[in-house]
Structure 1
Amino acid sequence: MDTEVLDLPLSRTANERLHAMIPGGAHTYAKGDDQYPENLAPVISHGSGAHVWDVDGNRYIEYGSGLRSVSLGHAHPRVIEAVRRELGRGSNFVRPSIVEVEAAERFLATVPTAEMVKFAKNGSDATSAAVRLARAATGRTRVALCSDHPFFSVDDWFIGTTPMSAGIPTTTTDLIATFPYGDLAATEEMLARYPDEIACLILEPATHTEPPPGYLAGLRELADRHGCVLIFDEMITGFRWSEAGAQGLYGVVPDLSTFGKALGNGFAVSALAGRRDLMERGGLRDSGAHDRVFLLSTTHGAETHSLAAAMAVQTTYVEEGITARLHALGERLAAGVRDAAAAMGVGDHVVVRGRASNLVFATLDEDLQPSQQYRTLFLRRLLAGGVLAPSFVVSSALDDEDIDRTVDVVAQACAVYRKALDASDPTPWLLGRPVKPVFRRLA
């Protein structure tokens, strides 16, 4: 059996300190040490480009940077320059900054399918504002969310539908309906089951699967016919699919959409965008015929340096062809991983999925079922080879050498994977408890 060579004593100590003060040991559940092999959850010191260093001094090629938010790489010079320029001018005032005007103009020029935009700090606030707006505009209370998409918000209307529903009253979750991705007939049946009750359909326009031909247009038609608001959650697809989001790529315009993650390259900024008549329900220039909607009102929603970061990100994407680069890097990585897995006899067990700019991987057992044990084995070998990869989501800071090195490490991991499959038991290679799913009822 292969022995583990990576030791992280300083990270282990830091993790203990984190758990002593912070519930879950991290400020995002997906960053928890339970998502990594036991005693192999590196605590990060700093990052540059596509690389990060842990407090033990180890360097890693990093994927899924900042939960997909750092798509240009860490400390990108154009973004840092824009942020630094604003820091010395003050970050928050008692009235709007001119930067808010410029950021809104830049966003609406980049995403021309939207007519108005409002900025916030996180995706949950933006999606919940969209749901609130839809309920107000339609006079309906029931929300229909896509059951195949993993996350929409930390707020009760979504978290109540997950296994971590403690503290959320059923009166909230009773107002939620679901529909499967890609199935227009099932969605229409759901809408018919709740006639004139559905305020909105909310979904990610694409994830690890492309929308079937005509699907998004079909949803648009269903929403119009049933009088509900169509909301695209573009937290991930925004910029990674195209500068104008999935709506720009697929040519289907939602009523409302939400953006975040890549928008700030790690700086805290999100956006709610959409039709003027809907957005003005939360403004001051509505006709006066409607009750006002408390849309988004956040003290730090328009911090100048975060908006400057967002403008720099959009400029960089457009001028440097970042979306195309992300796809090219992802295609090179996916081909390399698939070839390496096939060469080691695990091509059916280590599976790369998704759009090239947003790759994930599945780890399957002897029966080709998803396995947390085999995921643990795979992650352990990647970490030992200097690859930090909860997913294979690329940043544009990667280069061909990084991709080639990653493929070499994947090949080594697949060799161990093959041994575990032959033994019909990965346990000897885990060296601790398996990694765990984020959403689970008990700790």
Structure 2
Amino acid sequence: MPTEDTQELLLPRSRKANERLHAMIPGGAHTYAKGDDQYPENLAPVISHGRGAHVWDIDGNRYIEYGSGLRSVSLGHAHPRVVEAVRRELDRGSNFVRPSIVEVEAAERFLATVPTAEMVKFAKNGSDATTAAVRLARAATGRPRVALCADHPFFSVDDWFIGTTPMSAGIPAATNELTVAFPYGDLAATEELLTRYPDEIACLILEPATHTEPPPGYLAGLRELADRHGCVLIFDEMITGFRWSEAGAQGLYGVVPDLSTFGKALGNGFAVSALAGRRDLMEQGGLRHSGDRVFLLSTTHGAETHSLAAAMAVQTTYVEEGITARLHALGERLAAGARDAAAGMGVGDHVVVQGRASNLVFATLDENRQPSQLYRTLFLRRLLAGGVLAPSFVVSSALDDADIDRTVDVVAQACAVYRKALDAADPTPWLAGRPVKPVFRRLA
């Protein structure tokens, strides 16, 4: 593991590899949230490989990893059941000129796991699925506007969403004007928005839950508002799918959306996503109707056989091994330990662990208890020094009690330094470089 002293955590090979990445790949990564600007300066490890809950960088350091694959690897890296399912398909071909029988089996398996949906179509990434849901809602209602939840950080790389962020360069203003926003948990504000744009809003799209649980009656209230105002209710279950329950948040809370999108945990790192929902809506993207055709999803690699096999193995594993319950138990142990460690070092009001146990994040607050990128940088540096790679505290089921205990020890060490910085009212001496940066910002 890396040494306890951050100053001695040297990553010469990773630094050179990051330079090579930036020379050829805009941003130095294929996902902005994986960029080296999200990590302390010169402490962005480049990964060699992973197994279970651990990853190794190309400098030879091993880390306990959280938030694996941006929450997609919930069973741990190279999970045996998933790898074996993929391996069985590799010698059978991966893509054909007609649908494979695997597509039938994968659809049947998904709809059995998510019984609130009546049809499903697979794709490779979440953005394609959410954008297809929006397009379908517009086609079904004949309305132009999209209403998204302003409190949720990401829905799609496509214009209808990215135009609402600080990184809106290249997106026409006319496109941005068609997206409006509503606050999470506030039914009155949402109804006011629907009333302000009568017969114009095609859909309400939101994550049904994130770091906060939905207020009592909130999701059911949204369901009633959507029905009354004639718009489509879309649940983005990219994160909540499987981590909340095998059937997603809709299965846990008992509120059925018109359309929903799944991804991330569905493939345990393999590229697969899904758009699911009501038959009468989904069929508008099919062949068995007499209306205008909707170009719903048509992706060359959407039905890649080994990815669909991975998805089926993931669903089987979740159900047979009680993975959702394990994620919650691990998360509860981690949250309790980290909170106790922070409190013990006198920073319990500054290092704040929050969220559902299976989807924990942490906030780093300054001496005025305001979110701080400077203090986040300090905290991340100390975690890395202790061998913990954790942009969040999102657990995988591959973690064990020893991993959690080790993480809590490292959090305690980080919080001891955090306390020193708070006492000095200046974390700068502990940063050793520029602070980490938010993903969504106007200037590089």
Tell me the equivalent position of 2:91. 88
Secondary structure in structure 2 of the residue aligned to 1:435: coil
Aligned residue in 2 for 1:304: 305
**Within 2, Cα distance between the matches of 1:125 and 1:244?**
21
Q: 2:361: which partner in 1?
A: 360
| SS of the residue 1:185 aligns to | helix
Give the Cα–Cα distance (whole angstroms) in 1 for the partners of residues 93 and 325 of structure 2: 35
Does structure 1 residue 146 correspond to structure 2 residue 140? no
Report the alpha carbon displacement of residue 3 of structure 1 after superposing the two structures with TM.
5.6
| Alignment partner of 1:222 is 2:225 | yes
Q: Deviations over 1:199-238 (max 9, x none)?
A: 0000000000000000000000000000000000000000
Deviation at 1:54, TM superposition (A): 0.1
Q: How much does 1:332 deviate?
A: 0.0
Q: Can you list the C-alpha shifts for 1:89-109, whole angstroms capped at 9, x where unaligned?
A: 000000000000000000000
**Contact kept in structure 1, 2:6 and 2:382, CA below 8 Å:** no
Counterparts of 1:42-121 in structure 2 under 5 Å?
A: 42-121=45-124
What is the rounded CA distance, in whole Å, between the counterparts of 2:10 and 2:171 in structure 1? Answer: 40
Deviations 1:336-357 (A, max 9, x none): 0000000000000000010000
Other-structure match for 2:21: 18
Cα deviation, 1:384-414, whole Å, max 9, x if unaligned, reads: 0000000000000000000000000000000
The answer to whether the 8 A contact 2:121-2:274 is kept is yes
Distance in 2 of aligned mates of 1:125 and 1:196: 26
TM-score, scaled relative to structure 2: 0.99
Q: Secondary structure at the match of 1:4?
A: helix
The CA deviation at 1:111 is 0.0
Quote the residue 1:249 is aligned against: 252
For residues 141-191 of structure 1, give each alpha carbon's deviation from its aligned partner in whole angstroms, at most 9, with x where no partner exists. Answer: 000000000000000000000000000001101101100000000000000
Structure 2: gaps of 5 or more residues: none
What is the CA-CA distance between 1:5 and the residue it aligns to? 2.0
**Residues 338-384 of structure 1: per-residue CA shift (max 9 Å, x gap):** 00000000000000010000000000000000000000000000000
Contact in 1 for aligned 2:6/2:385 (Cα 8 Å): no
When residues 3 and 237 of structure 1 are mapped into structure 2, their CA distance, relative to the original with a 3 A threshold, is closer
Whole-Å separation in 1 of the counterparts to 2:82 and 2:179? 39
2:202 aligned counterpart, secondary structure: strand
Q: CA deviation at 1:316?
A: 0.1
Deviations 1:64-108 (A, max 9, x none): 000000000000000000000000000000000000000000000
Offset, 1:307: 0.0
Is the Cα–Cα contact under 8 Å of residues 203 and 233 in structure 2 kept in the other structure? yes
Tell me the secondary structure at the aligned position of residue 352 of structure 1: strand
For 2:195, the equivalent position in structure 1 comes to 192
Match of residue 344 from structure 1:
345
Distance 1:4 1:370 in 2: 25
Q: Distance in 2 between matches of 1:78 and 1:367?
A: 48
Length-normalised TM-score, structure 1: 0.99
3-state DSSP class of the match of 1:130?
Answer: helix
Within 1, Cα distance between the matches of 2:353 and 2:385? 20
| CA apart distance, 1:286 | 1.4
Aligned equivalents of 1:351, 1:365: Cα separation in 2: 11
> CA contact under 8 A between 2:388 and 2:410: conserved in structure 1?
yes
Residue 327 of structure 2 contacts residue 396 of structure 2 at CA under 8 Å; is this kept in 1? yes
Residues 266-311 of structure 1, C-alpha deviation per residue, up to 9 Å, x if partnerless?
Answer: 00000000000000000000144xx100000000000000000000
The separation in 1 between residues aligned to 2:136 and 2:269, in whole angstroms, is 27
In structure 1, the gaps of 5 or more residues are none
Q: For residues 176 and 168 of structure 1, what CA distance do their matches in structure 2 show?
A: 12
Q: Does 1:375 align with 2:372?
A: no
Deviations 1:117-149 (A, max 9, x none): 000000000000000000000000000000000
Post-superposition shift, 1:4? 1.8
Q: Deviations over 1:246-272 (max 9, x none)?
A: 000000000000000000000000000
- Provide the residue aligned with 2:293 in structure 1: 292
Matches of 1:162 and 1:197, distance apart in 2: 22
- The corresponding residue for 2:399 is 398
User: What do residues 317-350 of structure 1 show as CA deviations (whole Å, max 9, x unaligned)?
Assistant: 0000000000000000000000000000000000
Rounded Cα–Cα distance in structure 1 between residues aligned with 2:167 and 2:336: 37
The percentage of aligned residue pairs carrying the same residue is: 93
Cα separation, 2, equivalents of 1:423 and 1:177: 43
Contact map agreement 2:6 2:381 (CA 8 A) in 1: no
1:46 deviates by: 0.1
11 and 3 in structure 1: CA distance in 2 versus 1, 3 angstrom threshold? closer
Alpha-carbon distance in structure 2 between the residues aligned to 1:239 and 1:79: 15
Q: Flag the 1:3–1:20 CA change in 2: closer, same or farther, 3 A.
A: closer
Q: CA deviation at 1:442?
A: 0.2
Are the equivalent residues in 1 in contact too, given 2:122–2:302 (CA < 8 A)? Answer: yes
CA distance in 2, matches of 1:4, 1:276: 58
Q: Deviations over 1:10-46 (max 9, x none)?
A: 0000000000000000000000000000000000000
Conserved 8 A contact 2:53-2:77: yes
Alpha-carbon separation, structure 2, partners of 1:433 and 1:20: 21
Give the SS at the match of 2:41: coil
- Aligned equivalents of 2:281, 2:221: Cα separation in 1: 21
Contact 2:375 2:427 (8 Å CA) reproduced: yes
Query: What residue in structure 2 maps to residue 408 of structure 1?
Result: 409
Show structure 1 runs of 4+ deviating over 6 A.
none
